[in-house]
Structure 1
Amino acid sequence: MTHLASLVRKLSGLRLRSQTVAAPALSEKTTVGNADAAPAIANTALAKNASQAQTAADKAHAPSPFRKKRDTSTLKEAKGLRRSAKVTKIHRVADTGTTTQNEPQHHIVVNGHNAQRTAHIGGACKNLHNLSIPCPDPTREERIRDAHQNRALKLVRQEDWDKLIAMITTADRDRSLTDGGMSVAELMAFGARADVVLAVEHALVDRTPEHDAPMLRGIEALEYVLAEYPDNYVIGCIVAQAHIDIAWAWRGVGWDVEIAPRNREAFDAHFARARDIVVSFKNMPENSALLASTACALLRGDNYSTESVADRYQALIDLNPKNISSLRALGTHMLPRWYGSYAALELEARRTAARTTSEWGAGGYAWVMFDAITVDDKACAQLDLPFFIEGLRDIVRHRPEPHTINLLAAYCANTMGQAYSGNDAADHTRAQIAACADWIVREHLTELHPMIWAHAAQGFANNLRVSSPSRFAAAGQDDALRIIAGLFKREIAEGKRIVFTDQGPVATAA
């Protein structure tokens, strides 16, 4: 456990309480041989073969001597702080479009007699007339993501690491995705570390943690789990990602010059430990998207070349090209403010489009540019606009489910449509992209996902802190209804009623 001792020494000034977890006796540990397991919140690669995964699954059903003998007071103490917290992360895209019978299905009806959920519509929608659109709460995609995260969280709380490893390994090997394109392995990996990470985030919420806040107890417990499974890349990814998340919790979202020395020290120490864990697996297994994604998450602080960063992302994309998270992250990291240049951004977007033609058509170009052009005016001004719009149409053709349609509609109408910067070339490009919201909504929208629209208004910022999810979603709903009503203002002015069906919006006589 020398690596843990080193981390504790680095963070000695941050350690607010000296109590530690007693290390389990090495003679009592149980190791899962070569069984590697899967879903975590990064995008890496594949695991072992099917027989190994089945072996791990079989072991998961047997009583674990590891669970009985290891002192788990630290992990239980850390998770207790956040036991009531809902493990939900808002990441990226998609949904199948089908609604199950047990999925709550609300209709927003403005100026109708049987309006539901109209209390949150607000002043922005006062003048809407005869607009009715289904608004599932939660959406199918949200329920699927929560189910994967909570399944992993439950297994961790039960100390059933063997079963968790088997499930994540299988999802990683199969490249399992939700309907909206989120990696199941990543979702489960997040659920597995949620108690530990959320406890630290809770302690750091006001940047001045309490004297007895458990800043290290949870991560220490995870480190002891890694000591029990030293050759298992799934546990390695979970622990490394926990260190990365905790590092960012210490750092916050400010500029480097604004970060206190103590916080920067914690950030560097946790990142260094995460890097050591990932390096120890030497990119094995080579076909693990989970491991590759965890490696990409470590792109911070070192002097990486543009080519090395691009190659790392392209290797990840090749492992799971349907996972759009890695395509979008590639574009962001190709900006000059990170590791690239405008020429490199254009080159990698076109290379990605060529390599993912069978999955996305021209959509690979659009996904790589998706976030980059929202935050950089010059990148937006230099965009190949016809190619980008062709990419939007190909994305809809390949993934026409409600989550992705809401994502694209909100992106065009809200993220791009409301982002005018004074750069004439960039604003012209954004206006052309915003105009795409019309055909996306008219031809493909079947239901409304307010949370996506709310995040679109904030530029899909991953570090966004939401104090009230209900008010945040209500704001997104207001924006969506206002924008959609604007798209149908001619029909509404004629007194027609706009009803969204499974086949899209229909204008009928009021």
Structure 2
Amino acid sequence: MSFIQSLKSSLKASLGSKQRQVSAVPQIAAKASENPDLEKLLVIPVSDDPKEEQQRSHAFNKGQFLARQERWEDLSKIVNDEDQNRRASGGGMPIAELLCQGARADVVALAEHLLIDGTPEEARPLSEAISALEQILGEHSNNHVIATIVAMAHLDIAWAWRGTDAVRDTPARNLEAFELHCTRACQVLDPFCGIELDSPLVTSARCALLVGTPNAQTRVADDYEDLIDLAPEQQRHIRALGHHMLPQWFGSYETLELEARRTAARTQDIWGAGAYTWTYFDAVLVDPYCARYIDIPFFLEGIRDILERSEDQHNANLFASFAAVSIPNAAHLCADDLESCSALEQIQTAAQWIMSDYLHELHPLIWGHAMEGFDNHARIASIDALFKQGREKANQVFVRIFGEQMRKGNALIFTPQGLYVQQA
């Protein structure tokens, strides 16, 4: 049975007529009708399909389509070309990784369904789907792209078994499955060296697999340094470094700060101070206690350097919602630490100048994602729900920061040249 036939059979047997259950979207407390007349006083274009989302969807869907058509040679050539040319979305997501995500998406979705919504008795379809992927690997044993797709599928399934928190009460059976899939993923990638192949794709996958590697603490900083040096323009790798340097993974607050500064120094010609900021971006949301170690003026300088170098509105929305939405939420998690809270409050105040100086198009999906702490594993009801939630939250932020002007009847016009206040 071919890969796609096996997968279709597995999906049909597993899913049947059941619908995937997801958590309800939190209700926004403040209604737009309770705010100033935003329809008249807030002038900013709203994009429901920004360029970043188009780029990501196109690459993901292309990878998924080629896998479903079993055009593995075509897929490998396209991925390798994107990888060698270091192409990325405007938001810094490597196109090669998006293609590979799409290629393994059906198997991973099946695994997540079975492990979250299914029952142990339904495990056979997943085993058949994994076996089909392994068969493809056997037919392309020297192909590092196929190896990466299979290895990362195993890692994604491992996380589905374990959950993504660093410390959690995980059943022994789930931990055993996590370790088995991680071990298999490492075996699949062992024959390939990302540095020799000049491949950020392979190097990134090997960094991701550090979670299942014994004594990873001794090599994590060096491995990420190699990866970032291969593709310094792709900030996703810098963000991953910061996450993995937290004490609940492989580092400490001191080593996180050290690596943030080292990375900023090595990439200054590309990011200015921005790499320092990227290193802390996810880390401070995962563990807000690390905020007490942040050099706040340097961090804020990094935000400005990133935004000055951004060609579209993705990063403007990212950092505006980060400062105005995600950071206040994180502050509640470390309320007992005055130094961390003080640092977070200083970051939060940056929302005003970010929005005034750099924001001139609203991307509600990013604001919705910010409410989840930019957690890619958060479960949402639908894209439409996330869009609505993000739009409402952004409106609340506009009123909180600029409400005094609007209550006077002044219109706020957000332009590429900055915020313009039109007097009533």
Is the shorter-chain TM-score for this pair beyond 0.5, marking a shared fold? yes
Q: Name the residue aligned to 2:181.
A: 270
The match for 1:477 among 380, 388, 391 is 391
Please say which of residues 357-366 and 201-210 is displaced more in the overlay: 201-210
Instruction: Give the one of 64, 80, 91 matched to 1:153.
Output: 64
Q: How does 1:85-484 map to 2 (within 5 A)?
A: 123=31, 126-129=34-37, 130-206=41-117, 208-211=119-122, 214-253=125-164, 258-283=169-194, 285-418=196-329, 419-420=331-332, 421-484=335-398
The whole-number CA distance in structure 1 between the counterparts of 2:126 and 2:153 is: 12
Q: Kindly indicate whether the alpha-carbon contact (under 8 Å) linking 2:158 and 2:182 is maintained by their aligned counterparts in 1.
A: yes
Contact 2:4–2:69 (Cα < 8 Å) also in 1: no
One-letter amino acid of the structure 2 residue matched with residue 494 of structure 1: K
1:154 positional shift: 1.0
Is contact 2:3-2:70 (8 Å) kept?
A: no
Which stretch shows the higher mean deviation, 169-178 or 192-201?
Answer: 192-201
Corresponding residue SS for 2:390? helix
Indicate the larger mover: 478-487 or 291-300: 478-487
The Cα shift of 1:271 comes to: 0.9
Amino acid of the structure 1 residue aligned with 2:159 = W
SS in 1 for 2:126: coil
With over 3 angstroms needed to count, the CA separation of the structure-2 counterparts of 1:500 and 1:265, relative to structure 1, is: same
Alpha-carbon shift at residue 458 of structure 1 (Å) = 2.2
> Aligned partners of 1:434 and 1:71: how far apart in 2?
49
How far is 1:488 from its partner? 1.6
Residue matched to 2:25: none
Quote the Cα distance in structure 2 between the aligned partners of 1:235 and 1:494. 60
Q: CA deviation at 1:354?
A: 0.6
- CA distance, structure 1, for counterparts of residue 162 and residue 3 of structure 2: 31
Q: Which deviations, in whole Å up to 9, do the C-alpha atoms of 1:33-75 show, x marking residues without a partner?
A: xxxxxxxxxxxxxxxxxxxxxxxxxxxxxxxxxxxxx675313
Change (3 A) 1:391 1:236: same
Could you report, residue by residue, the CA deviation over 1:293-320 in whole angstroms, capped at 9, with x for unpaired residues?
Answer: 1101112144435441001111111111
1:490 corresponds to which of 404, 414, 417: 404
CA contact (8 A) 1:412 1:433 kept: yes
Aligned residue identity for 1:143: Q
Name the amino acid aligned to 1:359: I
- Which deviates more from structure 2 when the two are superposed, residues 266-275 or residues 203-212? 203-212
Conserved 8 A contact 1:417-1:433: no
Identity of aligned residues (%): 41
Match of 1:97 in 2: none
Counterpart secondary structure, 1:499: strand
CA 1:209/1:497 → structure 2, altered by over 3 Å: closer, same or farther?
Answer: farther
Task: Report the alpha carbon displacement of residue 495 of structure 1 after superposing the two structures with TM.
Answer: 0.9
Q: How many pairs align? A: 407
The 8 Å contact of residues 352 and 364 in structure 1, kept in 2 or not, is answered as: yes
The residue number in structure 2 matching 1:110 is none
* Mapped partners of 1:260, 1:121: distance in 2: 36
C-alpha deviation, 1:509, in angstroms: 4.2
How many Å apart are 1:131 and its aligned residue?
1.5
What's the CA shift for 1:230?
0.4
CA deviation after TM superposition for structure 1 residue 134, in Å: 1.6
The letter of the residue matching 1:163 is: D
Letter paired with 1:128: P
AA aligned to 1:229 is: H
Match of residue 507 from structure 1: 421
Cα distance change of structure 1 residues 77 and 503 upon mapping to structure 2, 3 Å threshold: farther
Task: Tell me if the contact between 1:293 and 1:316 (Cα under 8 Å) persists in the aligned partners.
Answer: yes
Q: Secondary structure at the match of 1:214?
A: helix
Check conservation: 1:240, 1:277, Cα contact below 8 A. Answer: yes
Partner Cα distance (2:243, 2:341) in 1: 19
Q: Please, what TM-score do these two structures have when normalized by structure 1?
A: 0.75
Tell me the distance in 2 between the aligned counterparts of 1:180 and 1:365. 17
The aligned counterpart of 2:23 is none
Contact 2:194 2:200 in 1 (8 A): no
Distance in 2 separating the partners of 1:71 and 1:378: 46
**d(CA) in 1 for partners of 2:305 and 2:123?**
53
**1:261, 1:356 → 2: CA distance?**
42
In the TM superposition, residue 235 of structure 1 has moved relative to its aligned partner by 0.3
Taking the aligned partners of 2:207 and 2:129, their CA distance within structure 1 comes to: 24
- SS of match in other structure, 1:505: strand
Aligned residues of 1:155 and 1:164 also touching (Cα < 8 A): yes
Change in CA separation of 1:78 and 1:173 when aligned onto 2, cut-off 3 Å = farther
Q: Which amino acid aligns with 2:287?
A: D
Given the superposition, is the C-alpha separation of residues 268 and 125 from structure 1 closer, same or farther in structure 2, using an over 3 Å criterion? farther
Offset at residue 143 of structure 1 (A): 1.2
Q: Secondary structure at the match of 2:88?
A: coil
C-alpha RMSD of the superposition: 2.4
Structure 1 gap ranges (5+)? 1-20, 22-69, 83-119
Amino acid at match of 1:123: K
Q: Aligned equivalents of 2:63 and 2:168: distance in 1?
A: 38
Offset at residue 470 of structure 1 (A): 2.3
Out of 202-211 and 152-161, give the one that drifted further.
Answer: 202-211
Do the aligned partners of residues 212 and 175 (structure 1) sit closer, same or farther apart at CA in structure 2, a change above 3 Å counting? closer
Residues of 2 paired with 1:228 and 1:187: CA distance? 23
Instruction: Structure 2: state its 5+ residue gaps.
Output: 16-27
SS of the residue aligned with 1:204? Answer: helix
Which protein shows a greater Rg? 1
Structure 2: distance between partners of 1:259 and 1:422: 27
What's the secondary structure of 1:454's corresponding residue?
helix
Per-residue deviation, 1:334: 1.1
